[in-house]
Structure 1
């Protein structure tokens, strides 16, 4: 797993990356899982996208991706763009609440 800064555009996920593990893995297998989790004071959610990823290669694709405003979190050169196209999206959300009363609960 690798944390990435991403955007959703046209139903796909796009992220920037440097040369290395993420790009190498795509040459072996383009099937990916992409997970996003977040929370507020009231609850939390998690979404998992199962799909296919590919490195953007044409000048037109890269030029379009550069207009998405993706900025690296770490000041490194990340000249590669990857697009993930979803085949399946699953997730769950839940609200926060106090823990239930433990009286009457038997622990074995």
Structure 2
């Protein structure tokens, strides 16, 4: 399960990086000739792109760290109280079953 999460996370991050790179390429290939207003807009876009990349890197590391911490806490809880975990899973299954059966009747 952890490998699936890591693979999905990596695929998503790769896609986001790809989009940012395409935006950066589009920005760099745009015509440099233009009005002062257009040049100011390009500078603003460049600053925002740099900030977005920085925030993406920060967010990626934060999300990965929090996911690992949550997974470790959950694993610890399940090992410490297996019957509690089974009860919660059974109740969740029952709730989903009731919701699905009532939606199928309609």
Which band: TM-score by shorter chain?
Answer: under 0.3
Larger radius of gyration: 2
TM-score, reference length from structure 1? 0.20
Q: Kindly indicate which of the two structures has a greater share of residues assigned to strand.
A: 1
TM-score, reference length from structure 2? 0.20
Q: Kindly indicate which of the two structures has a greater share of residues assigned to helix.
A: 2
